[in-house]
Every structure is written in structure tokens, then in C-alpha cells.
Amino acid sequence: MAALKKVNGKWTKQQIFYFAWLLISVGLFYSFIYNDILETMRVSISFWEELIHGNLHYFYGGRWQQTSAAYVKEVQAVYDFPIYIVFAIWNFPIWLVEHFGKVDVMNSVLCMMWEKTLLLVSVLLITKALYRLCRTLDLNENLSSLACLLFLSSNFFMTSVIMMSAYDIIALYFAIKGIDYYFQGKNKGFLLCFMCAIPLKFFALLLFVPLLLLKEKRIPQIIGSGILSILPILIFRFLLPCRAVMGDASTVSFSLTNMLKSTELSNLAWIYAVYHEAPIAIGQMYLSIAAWIILFLVCYFVKIESQESLKQWGIYACFMSYAILFVLCMSHPYWLLIMMPFMAIMMAQNSKYLYVNMIVEMLLTWGMIFAQIFKFPWCFGNALVNGMFLPLLLGKQSTFQSVTPMTLVNQLVSGDNASSYLIGMGCTVFAAGILVFSVLNLPCLKDKFHFINMEEKPETWLMVLRMISGIVIAMIPIAMYVIGVKAA
């Protein structure tokens, strides 16, 4: 990246700071492990046992014991099968260690670090893919590098990938590659990448549809491409029915109707899409569904006059599709990651508004993370630290006791009333920020605004602030862990 190249054979103070931030981020990356990736790890390791014993067809009826210190529970496969294939291949060495070496892999720091390294590899891949996409969008080397830096330094990247081990980044990589092919006019590559991305995470469909509608206006081709994009997941669900009772293989049934059924957790996207509603006419209106319908109709009916216009509106449509998801739907903290590449690209595309865009992006990010701390306190609690290497330095609890920010809030005030107010304040800041960002970067309004700072390079203090604020947020679960150890 251009930001890390030597100037006259020497490192600048800014570059030294970037290197220090990078090293700290890697250290923090290996300091946290989240329940979701542990469950997926346990299930993916068990994949090999089921395969050896010829029980793979009943994979979703399995039940396995997860024995990690902070998350002792019984688990089953809860996501669509492709993500378990990825993890099973990556975790094959761990299965060998457990199967033949009889190692307790769920309580091995080295095994946990190996598990998270899959995400680190994904980060490297997506950073390279994001840079290439920016170059395809006619951004120069400096702006392309800036977009990558803005993505990696986002506080949502800190909470999602570094703290909560969000493997949504695997599907996001294929989506970014597919979008790159899209703007290069390579429609087969575009379709194939999304045929990989959608089975890994259905949210990729929210990118595929508006992009398809912007370019393709023939109804039969739209329908055909739509079917092909979800065909892999339908095939997997037919071959390996995923609606089953945990631990009861007899509940696994094989039929064509199973292609349309998914696990409860795989249904979350739909459940959350209809989470918020408003009264209208003789019933109710689902706000997010209505917003997506409007977006998709606009994408279909608008006529793109040039490739340059397509590059502006295509990225904007991707951003708006995810903005609708996160403003109008219930969501989990680690999902926000998937919106960040498009915000980073838009900030690079509209570099004259970089100063304002960076401030707005930071404010909306802080607002949502503030709300998440009180809505999902366990995502910022001491359990994230337990099981990695920091307990070797900070000491261990004899018996693990959960400590979260709400543990402290409940000691000071009535937790329910306080958390409801704080969550509302954070969400309000987030929604307001998204609205401002979407207006500032609307392609038809480009260069229409005049601000106090129109520099096309980031202010040093802004970059320092976003990086330091991410580290401060990462200190929350570490602080909770120290409090738990002291209280034990």
C-alpha cells in the first residue's frame, strides 16, 4: 500500500504510527475468540468423523459437545453446508491433532490461533480484492490504498473481525471479487462469484440483485440469473436436509420441499427483515421490504448512460442495500462489517468530501457500537478473552464468571431502563449518520456541496482518531476480564 512506502528511503512518523497500529491490531486479533466461530469450529471438526463413519447425510441431526472454558454447551450445525466445508478443510489439521493426538483442541490456545488465522488469510485476500476493485473503478493507486486503509481501520472492522471473529468476511471476499468482474464486464465471473458468496452468507443476495437490475433489463435473463445465483444452496439443501432436531438423526428427511427449508439461524435474515413494521391501510408494512422494493425498482427502471455512471451508481446501490438492512432491520454486531467496503470506496470516489465523510462515518460507527454494547453486552464481555493467550498473562478465574458492561451498569442504575435509553441514543446517531452519508454521496449530487475542508487526502488527526478509537473499544472486553479476575 502507498501509505506504507518509504519516503526518500526513510519512514515518516505517520508510517511508523501505522506500523505500530498494525502490530497492535494483529496482537488484539489473537487476543479474542467468539462463541460463534467456536461452535462452527466444533461442528466442522466433527464433519470428518461423520464422513468417516458414513453419516454425512444426517449431518444436521448431529449433536456435539463444545468444551471451551467460557462456552460449554452442546452444539449442532446451524448454517448452510458450504461454510462448514470451508472450515472443515481449514480445520483438517486440528481434526488430526484431536483424533490421533487426543488433544483438547477447544482449550488449546494454538488451535484457537489456527482457527482465527483463517480470518487473517481472508482479510489479506479481501484487501487485495478491494484494491483491485478500486483500480477497476478508475481510482488511482493512492485512493485505492486509502479505501483499503479506511476499511481496515474502521471500528466496525475492529469489532466484527478482530473482536468477534466474524467469518462473514469469507463470503464478502467472493462478493467483492464478483463486483470487480461485474465492472469489468465479465458477467460469467460475476455470476460464479455470487454463486459462491450467497451460499456462504445470504446477505450477498442483497448486492447481486441491484447490480443485476442496473445492467440487465430483460426479464427472462433476470429470472434465470436469479435462479442460478441461489442454485448451489438449493442443491446442498436437497442433498443434506438442514431442518432437523439436534441429536436425532431420524428427523432428517429427504424431499424436494427441503430445498426451501433452512435452519432457524439461517432464517434470521428473513426474520429480522420483518422485525420492524408500521401500520398502513388494512394491515402493516414491513419497512425494510418496502425500502428494498423501491431500491430494486429504481435500479431496474433507471437507464445508465455510461460505464463511469455505472461505476458510481453500482457502488451506491450496494451501499444503500446494506444501509436499508442495518437501519431498518434487527442485526447482530458482526454483520456491520459487510457494509464497510462500499463506504470506503465511496469515500475514495468522492475524495473532495473526504473530511466530512470520515467524520460522519466515525460518528455513525460510534453510535451503533455504543448501542451494541448495551444490546449485546456479551459481545463486549470477558468471554471473548477467555481461551486465548491473555489469560496466561493476566491470570485466570478458577470458575469462569461472565462480566460484561451491563454487569457494571446494573450495579449503578436500573439496567433495563438505562440500556433501553442508551441503545435508542446510539441507534439514532447511526441512522442520522447513514442518512447524511447517503445524501452526501448520491452520484447525481456529486460536487454540488461546498464544505470547510475540501482536501482530497485524509487529515492525520482523523486517521489517528479512528485507529486509536478502535483500540480503545477493543480494551473493553480486556477490562471486563481483568475485573472478573480481580473479583474472583
Helix axes 219-239, 187-200, angle to 10 degrees: 40
Alpha carbon distance 336, 326 (integer Å): 7
What's the distance, CA 167 to chain centroid? 7
Give the whole-angstrom CA distance, residue 35 versus residue 78. 13
Q: What's the pLDDT at 62?
A: 81
34 occurs within a structural domain: yes
- What is the rounded distance in angstroms from the CA atom of residue 196 to the CA atom of residue 131? 20
pLDDT at 452: 67
User: What is the average pLDDT across 477-484?
Assistant: 94
Q: Is residue 288 part of a domain?
A: yes
DSSP assignment letter at 282: T
How far, in Å, CA of 319 to CA of 334, rounded? Answer: 17
Structure confidence by residue, pLDDT tens digits, 79-95: 888 999 999 999 999 99
Over residues 309-329, the mean pLDDT reads 96
195 pLDDT more than 80: yes
**What is the domain range of residue 78?**
22-487
Q: Which of 62-71, 130-139, 264-273, 478-487 has the lowest mean pLDDT?
A: 264-273
204: its cell numbers: 450477498
In a domain, 414, yes or no: yes
pLDDT the model gives residue 265: 61
Section 459-467 average pLDDT: 93
Asked, for residue 69, whether it belongs to a domain, the answer is yes
The residues facing 66 across adjacent strands are: 73
User: Does residue 14 lie in a domain region?
Assistant: no
Q: How far is the C-alpha of 198 from the C-alpha of 262, rounded, in Å?
A: 14
pLDDT confidence of residue 77: 85
pLDDT of 135? 98
pLDDT at 179: 98
3-state SS, residue 305? coil
Q: Is the distance from CB of 376 to CB of 333 less than 8 angstroms?
A: yes
Cα separations (Å) of 354 from 20, 39, 454? 24, 40, 7
- Local structure of residue 37 (DSSP, 8 states): H
Q: What is the DSSP letter of 175?
A: H
Q: Are 423 and 374 in contact (CB under 8 A)?
A: yes
Local structure of 73: helix, strand or coil? strand
Closest CA to 21 of 327, 13, 141: 13
Distance CA 230, CA 320 (A): 22
Inside any domain, residue 16: no
290 in Cβ contact with 278 (< 8 Å): no
Q: Is residue 3 part of a domain?
A: no
* pTM, to two decimals: 0.92
Look up residue 302 and give its three cell numbers: 433507471
Q: Do residues 291 and 321 touch, judged by C-beta distance below 8 A? A: no
The pLDDT of residue 5: 59
- Per residue in 410-457, pLDDT (tens digit) is 877 765 677 888 999 999 999 999 999 999 999 988 777 777 666 778
Residue 285 has φ and ψ, to the nearest 5°, of -120, 130
Q: Is residue 55 predicted with pLDDT exceeding 90?
A: no
pLDDT at 407 exceeding the cut of 90: no
pLDDT of residue 273: 72
Whether the predicted pLDDT of 96 surpasses 70: yes
What's the CA gap between 117 and 448, in Å, rounded?
Answer: 44
Query: Residue 149 falls within a domain, yes or no?
Result: yes
pLDDT at site 264: 62
Mean pLDDT of 232-245: 82
In the chain, the number of structural domains is 1
Looking at residue 157, what is its pLDDT?
98
